[in-house]
Structure 1
């Protein structure tokens, strides 16, 4: 089955407000639609930088703007779509086989990523031409 950009969805995490600040909780297979095996984040990103530039063969990811904002451009080889992320309780669920590029970072932007697998270089497609020929 071919995955398309239409299969990538915004996932909303619960937001629990209080006068001391808000908290959002991410739980594997409850409000995150996969088992979380790895979490990483990028920060101190120059506004003109581009991140991503790859697809995963098997792994799912939930990408969240933990702070600030940025664009996520997704591509299924036929169509592209841009998501603007700027809310720490909403993330973009990226399914396997979707190319992603992140850009247009605000000052203080933090990209938080929850991944369904441990780091495995063989799961990455880093060459766009190879991705397009899949």
Structure 2
């Protein structure tokens, strides 16, 4: 046997990966599949229709129910609770249990509750005691009941477990580079006047591309996240004309977050940068200038596809 099962554990499955350890009082049913180098701690129960990837840690007191898919390098904290039936009744079973997916590298905090049918994105972090009622985007940090996005984790090139790094906007009108390739921060000209303040920009000097479209985002509930996509060809320039909104940009290697809270601050996002906007204030109005007319085919809405396209571009270069 190329894996370890404690004498007080009950492992009925034959599909256990190399070097995986199953500790005392754990029970693994026959249909379960567990990858290599996993650590299944005391008092863990794993049902039949469960697939666990490689290098997964499942701490004490966790039950993994039918329909759960756990990708590689996931951490599941003690007493985390998973569910698979939105309308449970004794001795009444659905035709199929709701599928729940934990993406690669995700972490689930102690005593968190995950409702059925949601997806936890890759490298996302669910805080201790959080109640996850809907899917969590990749790299997001969620806390509370119901769980809400409170931040985004740093990229692989930054220190793990800390929020995404930030770069200050220029103190005077001008442009500042960021760690995210092609993304720049802009401070536009501002005139303060007792009769009312004014902020102004010129095309193409301040907005560095020909503008063919604009749109406004407003009346966004503070709990909502917008964006979560990249563009193949379109440039965007973001200004929060009222209130505040946090902007996360990601080139697949670096990730940074910026707060737009003054109308003279702008962020230029070139094509193939993953963009997210969240933490909208109740009065926020986000103005976006775009270099292209709306084209549905220009959007990349799946983060894994975005990463694959970035890697393919690197190989082509």
TM-score, reference length from structure 2:
0.40
CA distance in 1 between partners of 2:194 and 2:206 (Å): 24
2:231 is matched with: 56
Of the two structures, which has the highest relative contact order with CA contacts closer than 8 Å and spacing of 6 or more? 1
Q: Which deviates further from its counterpart, 25-34 or 94-103?
A: 25-34
Paired residue for 2:199? Answer: 24
Report Cα offsets for 1:18-42 as digits up to 9, x if no partner. 2221222232212111111111111
Instruction: Tell me, in whole angstroms, the C-alpha distance in 1 between the residues paired with 2:269 and 2:240.
Output: 14
Matched, 1:67 2:242: yes
State which structure, 1 or 2, has the greater radius of gyration over its C-alpha atoms: 2
Deviates more, 1:10-19 or 1:99-108: 10-19
Aligned residue in 2 for 1:130: 305
Aligned counterparts, 1:1-134, within 5 A: 5-134=180-309
C-alpha distance in structure 1 between counterparts of 2:217 and 2:233, whole Å: 22
Runs of 5+ unmatched residues, structure 1: none
Aligned equivalents of 1:126 and 1:114: distance in 2? 19
Q: Extract unaligned runs of 5+ from structure 2.
A: 1-178, 310-317
Contact 2:181–2:251 at 8 Å: present in 1 too? no
Q: 1 or 2, which has the higher strand percentage? A: 1
TM-score (norm 1): 0.91
**1:17, CA displacement in angstroms?**
2.5
